[in-house]
A and B are shown apart, each in its own frame.
Chain A
Amino acid sequence: MITIVDYKAGNLTSVERAIKTLGRPARISADPDQVARAERIIFPGVGAAGQAMDELKRTGLDQALQEVVARGRPVLGICIGCQIIMDESEENRTSCLGLIKGQTLAFPDPLLDPDGRRLKVPHMGWNGIRFTREHPLFNGLDPAAEFYFVHGYYTRPRDEEAVIGLTGYGIEFPSVIGRENLVAVQFHVEKSGRPGLAVLANFVDWRP
């Protein structure tokens, strides 16, 4: 059973639908006990870091997430769920979960492409990944596969080893990060077509 953490950060049914398409059971849960004891966790979300952290603290889900990660269960963060596993976020100057050392930063303003043209923020649309190391989540994927991004902030882990993949948009930013049983992606796997579903399929079978 895959538990999708519900903390009022956007529509979670698209993640649930994607898991069900893979023929795996999933439930959406806002219950800290269920989350802490879960077998496998997806931590999705859209929205702002400040609001997301407030809700996690209010419900006790912040502690539950710490616990399930410490228990060694596989955890996948998506989008905001990738950004707020860092120590802190520049967005609303938010103190976050600290599951990965480092910060979440705003894109530089202005953000320029290699020809000096101004790039739009948020970074929205399809973009690729340059892997800095192998990870089971991306087994069997075409290296040219692209994923769907929508974000104005990006993570900057303190330790190089926490970076798994990078994406170029004016700067090269970490788009896949993780350590041990925790992995997080800045893009929306559930909206990234067949490559996205392939990543989810790898996640549901992942034994870290």
Chain B
Amino acid sequence: MLSKRIIPCLDVREGKTTKGIKFKNNVDIGDPVEMARFYYQAGADELVFYDITASAEARNIMLEVVRRVAETIFIPFSVGGGIKTVEEMRAVLLAGAEKVSLNSPAVRNPEIITQGARAFGSQAIVVGMDVKKVAPTRALPSGYEIYINGGRKAMGLDALAWAKKVQDLGAGEICLNSIDADGTKEGYEMELTSLICEAVSIPVIASGGAGEPRHIVEVLTRAGADAALIASMTHYGTYTVTQIKDACAEAGVKVRQVW
């Protein structure tokens, strides 16, 4: 039986992680390669690197980070943030990432989802969705709206319709982030996650709001997510991946426990 995946997410700016980690053994907390090594050894099933850099020069720094990560860890990882073209996808995949995550540029130009899937296969294309709860209207019947630019710009696009569309366009996976839940540590947006998981047949990674292991158990069981994205709850040493997986196993959720 397929295991549910626990996926730490690392934000990277100009080659350094923005949220440092406070590990007991005091590794270089700003180095994404060292963080990747730490999580690889700690039992993460996959990693996500989110590049929040703007400039073109810094893109090359990110590619160098991807190459070094690929030499260090032997589990799948994806890279997202600002990827706009098939050539940019190719560069990231050739550097050693398993998948690319398309976010704002996919909303502005949905064609790149199809282009990416044709060039590299759907399994390499993750579409990241930033979603906020709104009052349902005719244009936004699900009551969930797509935002871009790090949650700053509302697009008037219904999240449920968009999820179905990205699947039709060739996305292999959806990373579903709730802007409302993000940073609250009060749990994932269960209603939104259930809604999207029921509507699509591609895997859904739940993101935003994880604060305790039980939140991960909830979203993987009741909401039906295939994977859970985590960040601060393990970056700051509050919990370990093992503790999260133990909680899952205890609740009957199948997770990978040998690594």
* A120 adjacent to B74 (CB under 8 Å): no
- Interchain CB contact (< 8 A) of A120 among B45, B98, B203: B203
Interface size class of B (residues with CB under 8 A): 20 to 34
Type the 1/0 row for B221-234, where 1 means its CB is closer than 8 Å to any CB of A.
00000110000000
Type the 1/0 row for A51-82, where 1 means its CB is closer than 8 Å to any CB of B.
00000000000000000000000000000000
* B71 adjacent to A17 (CB under 8 Å): yes
Interface size class of A (residues with CB under 8 A): 35 or more
Give every chain A residue within 8 A of B94 (Cβ-Cβ). 11, 13
Give every chain A residue within 8 A of B96 (Cβ-Cβ). 11, 13-14, 17
Least distance between A200 CB and chain B CB atoms (Å): 9
Closest to A17 in B: B71
User: Which chain B residues (22-61) contact chain A, with CB distance < 8 Å?
Assistant: 40, 45
* B123 adjacent to A150 (CB under 8 Å): yes
A46 and B121 in contact, given A14-B70, A148-B76, A192-B74 (Cβ under 8 angstroms)? yes
The SS class assigned to the A binding surface is mixed
Type the 1/0 row for A118-129, where 1 means its CB is closer than 8 Å to any CB of B.
111011111110
Give the distance in Å from the alpha carbon of A127 to the alpha carbon of B226 in the complex: 13
* B74 adjacent to A125 (CB under 8 Å): no
* A144 adjacent to B74 (CB under 8 Å): no
* B121 adjacent to A191 (CB under 8 Å): no
A17 and B1 in contact, given A193-B75, A194-B259 (Cβ under 8 angstroms)? no
- Interchain CB contact (< 8 A) of B74 among A18, A119, A150: A18
Give the distance in Å from the alpha carbon of A142 to the alpha carbon of B201 in the complex: 32
- Interchain CB contact (< 8 A) of A21 among B45, B74, B226, B258: B74
15 A-B pairs whose Cβ atoms sit less than 8 Å apart in the complex: A13-B94, A13-B96, A14-B70, A17-B70, A21-B74, A124-B173, A124-B203, A125-B227, A127-B1, A127-B2, A146-B258, A169-B2, A193-B75, A194-B74, A197-B74
